[in-house]
Amino acid sequence: MTGTAINFQSILQNSLVIAQPLREPDFEGLYSAASDPLIWEQHPNKNRYQKDAFTNYFKGAMESVGAFLVKDAVTGEIIGSSRYSDYNAEKGTIAIGYTFFVRSHWGKGHNYALKKLMLDHAFQHVGNVIFYIGAVNKRSQVSIEKLGAIKTGEKETAYYGEAAKLDYVYAITKEQWLQLRKEIKG
In whole angstroms, give the CA distance from residue 153 to residue 157.
Answer: 12
Interval 73-86: pLDDT, tens: 999 999 999 999 99
Mean pLDDT within 44-51: 90
pLDDT of residue 5: 55
The rounded distance, in Å, linking the Cα atoms of 172 and 58 is 27
* Model pLDDT for residues 127-152, shown as the tens digit of each residue: 999 999 999 999 899 999 998 999 99
In terms of C-beta distances under 8 Å and separation of at least 24 residues, what long-range contacts does 47-56 make, across chains too?
A: 48/100, 55/27, 56/160, 56/161, 56/162
Mean pLDDT in the chain? 92
Mean local confidence (pLDDT), 48-69: 94
Count the helices and strands in the chain (H runs, E runs): 5, 8
Cβ–Cβ under 8 Å, residues 134 and 167: yes
d(CA 108, CA 115): 13
pTM of the model: 0.92
Report all structural domains of the chain as residue ranges with CATH numbers, in order of start.
Answer: 12-185 (3.40.630.30)
User: CB–CB of 174/128 below 8 Å?
Assistant: yes
**Sequence letter at residue 27:** F
Question: What's the confidence (pLDDT) of residue 1?
Answer: 47
The DSSP line for 84-97 is EEEEETTTTEEEEE
Tell me how far apart the terminal alpha carbons of the chain are, to the nearest angstrom: 36
Q: How far apart are CA 162 and CA 159, in angstroms?
A: 5
DSSP secondary structure string for all residues of 137-176? -HHHHHHHHHTT-EEEEEEEEE-TTS-EEEEEEEEEEHHH
